[in-house]
Amino acid sequence: MKNYQVDITIIGSGPGGYRAAVLGALRGRKVAIVESATWGGTCLNRGCVPKKDWHETAKWIEQSRHYAQRGVVGPDLAGDMTQAWEHQHQVVKTVRSSYVDYLKRLGVQLLDGLGSFQDPRTIVVRGQDGETQQIQTRYSIIATGSTPALPRGIQTVPGKVLTSDMLYDDAAPAGKRVILIGGGVIGTEFAYIFRQLGKEVQWLVNSPSLSHTRYSPQAKDTLKAALHTLDIQAQEHFRVSRIEEDARGVSVFAEDGRQVQGDWVLLATGRHAFTQGLGLENTAVHLDEQGFVETDTYLETAEPGIFALGDVVGPIMNANQAMSDAQIIVHNLLSEEKTARNPAWVPELVYSAVELARIGLDEDTAEDEGFEPAVGFAAFETSPRALGQDDTAGFVRLLADMDSGELLGGEIVGRDAGELIHLLANSGDREEALRRIAETRVNHPSRAEELVNATETLAARWGLEAQIFGAGESADAL
């Protein structure tokens, strides 16, 4: 049995674990990272990276409908999921090998196998070949992510009843008629992607799409309208209770007796924290009622020296949160001044018929926290850049406190929202944020200009000129 002595051990190599390993090594610490399955975790192998690759393909196909009017002529184009699957697979392989390479170059010790606490400072790693290795560690980070949650009584069947994990682990099933279950983020993203990739999609949801998220009603309505334009509509109040397979495919039954038939099913019915086999009983680490690892606001568990991040901590499950958590933990391990987790200021995204991005507080939360939120709005409808791209859906919506002009939150809907949100994500002084945006030297024509326009709307409509433009000359003095 091989033995290692390190400063920090990370269990799980998803975006959170990977980022923690990189930051720990860059700060001169001896780091080991353990992975029981594919290096890179859910995000790289079965989540964000392959999904965004498909979203890009779906956008190309949608945009091809504008080709003729722009003077690009030729036969009609259509999506092919088999080829799209191959494309994402190649992208994922390339990214994975560059990730692993970088960790090795930084001197991180990579260990293949299931990591399990023998005691709070000892982790045993069991490889698939039965070999075991042991790590003595000063600190540990649990970064073991999540797995798909299935409705009660429903089981997966390869090629017929899949989760998103299974969809990317093996080539996509051939059948054209797909039944998609769930109105959460995955359901809303895949309804669009599947449709553009040439599938006939029956989308079953028990509550309206994204109803449990913090996007504004305006954002959800814009997305709904874009999906309708592409003839994508959900069957609402469909609570799945049973799935049957036969020679012709699959039948999905609702609690109220409705029945839908198709070739295969994708279950997008949530995910839960994954802690199986971690040996937490040999530590003081505690799980909450939903199975998430409990931590304090600095992400330390009930066992001093053991931290946790990302999906396994929840409740927000996205790569951005996992990577932000990693930054916080490594910072706190190495600095006197501690930083607390603040999920509100980590961007959230949805990639569907339009992109939705948001950060900060929504109106209700802002009011609850004692602010008086004012809204600044700018639509892409008249943006020269958006018009030139034949893609004018969406807007920028900024929230500021009426008294102080402090930026409270922001939402960007439309093409490239996932890139533009970074202009709001800088964690600098938020009392100065709107002034910083208003003074940004912009590229023209660009979508980023609409952020400047939204700050100007805020100033003009809510009398925030002094806070946003500064106390310069008044109009009377001119």
Ligand X SMILES: Cc1cc2nc3c(=O)[nH]c(=O)nc-3n(C[C@H](O)[C@H](O)[C@H](O)COP(=O)(O)OP(=O)(O)OC[C@H]3O[C@@H](n4cnc5c(N)ncnc54)[C@H](O)[C@@H]3O)c2cc1C
**List of residues contacting ligand NAD (CB under 6 A):** 151, 181-187, 189, 205-207, 239-240, 268-271, 317-318, 349-351
The residue (of 143 and 423) whose beta carbon lies closer to ligand X is 143
- Sites for ligand X among residues 92-151 (CB under 6 A): 114-115, 143-146
Question: What does 350 bind: ligand X, ligand NAD, none (CB cut-off 5 to 8 Å by kind)?
Answer: ligand NAD
The residue (of 378 and 413) whose beta carbon lies closer to ligand NAD is 413
When asked if residue 84 is in the footprint of ligand X (CB under 6 A), the reply is no
The residue (of 187 and 262) whose beta carbon lies closer to ligand NAD is 187
Applying CB under 6 A, which part among 213-221, 240-248, 305-313, 401-409 lies near ligand X?
Answer: 305-313
CA distance 324 to 432: 22
Q: Where are the alpha helices (DSSP H) in 213-346?
A: 217-229, 319-334
The residue (of 188 and 222) whose beta carbon lies closer to ligand X is 188
Strand order in the sheet with 200-204: 161-163, 264-267, 177-181, 200-204, 234-235
Sequence-distant (≥ 6) Cβ neighbours of residue 189 within 8 angstroms:
51, 55, 350, 351, 352
The residue (of 24 and 184) whose beta carbon lies closer to ligand NAD is 184
* Least distance between ligand NAD and beta carbon 152 (Å): 8
Tokens of 139: 């600190």
Q: How far apart are the first and last CA of the chain?
A: 81
* Least distance between ligand X and beta carbon 111 (Å): 8
State the amino acid at position 346 in one-letter form: V
Question: What does 24 bind: ligand X, ligand NAD, none (CB cut-off 5 to 8 Å by kind)?
Answer: none
The residue (of 113 and 314) whose beta carbon lies closer to ligand NAD is 314
The residue (of 124 and 438) whose beta carbon lies closer to ligand X is 124
434: closest CA among 395, 471, 400?
A: 400
When asked if residue 400 is in the footprint of ligand X (CB under 6 A), the reply is no
The residue (of 61 and 179) whose beta carbon lies closer to ligand NAD is 179
Question: What does 32 bind: ligand X, ligand NAD, none (CB cut-off 5 to 8 Å by kind)?
Answer: none
* Least distance between ligand NAD and beta carbon 410 (Å): 17
Applying CB under 6 A, which part among 8-16, 214-222, 227-235, 236-244 lies near ligand X?
Answer: 8-16
**SS3 (DSSP) at 156:** coil
One of 6, 8, 9, 13 touching ligand X (CB under 6 A):
13
One of 9, 36, 216, 269 touching ligand X (CB under 6 A):
36
Question: What does 396 bind: ligand X, ligand NAD, none (CB cut-off 5 to 8 Å by kind)?
Answer: none
Q: Strands (DSSP E) along 206-324, which ranges?
A: 234-235, 240-246, 249-254, 259-262, 264-267, 271-273, 306-308
Q: What pairing do the DSSP bridges indicate for beta strands 395-401 and 373-379?
A: antiparallel
Are 217 and 303 a contacting pair, CB within 8 Å?
no
Task: Please tell me the number of Cα atoms within 13 Å of 18 on its side-chain side.
Answer: 24
One of 62, 303, 311, 416 touching ligand X (CB under 6 A):
311
Are 176 and 319 a contacting pair, CB within 8 Å?
no
- Sites for ligand X among residues 156-195 (CB under 6 A): 164, 186
Peptide bond into 315 cis (omega under 30): yes
* Least distance between ligand X and beta carbon 291 (Å): 13
Tokens of 336: 């006197």
Tally helices (H) and strands (E) across the chain: 16, 22
Q: What pairing do the DSSP bridges indicate for beta strands 306-308 and 114-119?
A: unpaired
Interface contacts to ligand X, rule CB under 6 A: 11-17, 34-37, 41-43, 46-48, 51-52, 114-115, 143-146, 164, 186, 274, 277-278, 310-312, 317-320, 322, 349, 351
